[in-house]
Amino acid sequence: MVRALTGRDRWILRMVYEHRVLTTDQLAELAFPTAKIARRRLAILHTYRVLDRFRPMRTRGTAPYHWTLAPAGAAILAAEAGVSVRELGYNHQTTLSVAHSLHLTHTLGVAEWFTALVTGPHGGQVSRWWSQTRCQRLWGDLARPDAHGRYTRGEDPFDFFLEYDLGTTSLPRVAAKLHGFAELARTTGAIVPVLFWVPTTMREANARIALRRTWERLPDPEAVPVATAAAEFLGSIPGTSPADQVWLPLHTDSGRRHLHELGTVWPRRTAPEDGIDPEATWAPLSGTVALAPPPPSPPASEFW
């Protein structure tokens, strides 16, 4: 069975390990030429017992399959890393519990955000997409972003933290997260922008008031660059993505920017090569599988 796995199959195992759960639709967009091929191959991986799947209940229609890492898949990743499944940090029951998690919508929302960024027709490339779990292990004693990404369009990579808001958390609590990012910047010396993605323009307007009030009271506000955007801007326009001209820096109302343009807004922003060193930071965590960044489309010669 292991010999039957392609490079793309192993990439999928790493993705569901990193992000806990991904849907058929998301994996189809990320790694397959068509949805039909995606469904067929994912079904085979389920037959191999390297992936588990479930469908959440819906009042209308049928949800797509949601995919998680199965024990055989965890054993393969552990063997590749030269560690035990226990050292990998994999627990089958914990993995399955995501199906009943109150945070499932939020987890899938973050994945959908990055899927749109990876696959959007904007000429940029996502070379890093770290999950909330990975961020928590790295920086959880200081800040707990929903994800960490790197986006490049042109020659200047743009690192950022993502805060994905469903509109269910009180705005003072959302704004209070800035204290953690301020402490992270002070401790590491890395100035990394924090992007707040909210559902509606009204929510964004109110969030900006709360964020600005907290941001101005930070010991060094410029060490925590912030921008906001609302999903409502993209909802009615096919083919759009978070890379589009939807971002409004917190310190100004001078106009919305494309994602790659935010790199020019904050002069103190740390260049990626001078920022948080992923190897030095991640290496002490035993049993970690190093993940290659998700490619916009895997090379065809590798996968079929």
Residue ranges per structural domain of the chain = 2-101, 105-270
pTM as predicted: 0.89
Per DSSP, the three-state class of 3 is helix
Give the pLDDT confidence score for residue 268 in this predicted structure: 86
Residue range 137-158, pLDDT digits in tens: 889 889 999 999 999 998 889 9
* Cβ 270 vs Cβ 190: under 8 Å: yes
Residue range 184-197, pLDDT digits in tens: 999 999 999 999 99
Residue 256 has pLDDT above 50, yes or no: yes
Give residue 2's pLDDT band: very low, low, confident or very high (50, 70, 90): confident
Residue range 21-44, pLDDT digits in tens: 999 999 999 999 999 999 999 999
Give residue 122's pLDDT band: very low, low, confident or very high (50, 70, 90): confident
Residue 300 has pLDDT above 50, yes or no: no
Report long-range pairs for 254-259 (Cβ below 8 Å, ≥24 apart). Answer: 256/229, 257/227, 258/122, 258/153, 259/117, 259/122, 259/124, 259/151, 259/153, 259/158
Give the pLDDT confidence score for residue 274 in this predicted structure: 60
Share of the chain above pLDDT 70, in %: 88
Does the domain at 2-101 match CATH 1.10.10.10? Answer given as yes
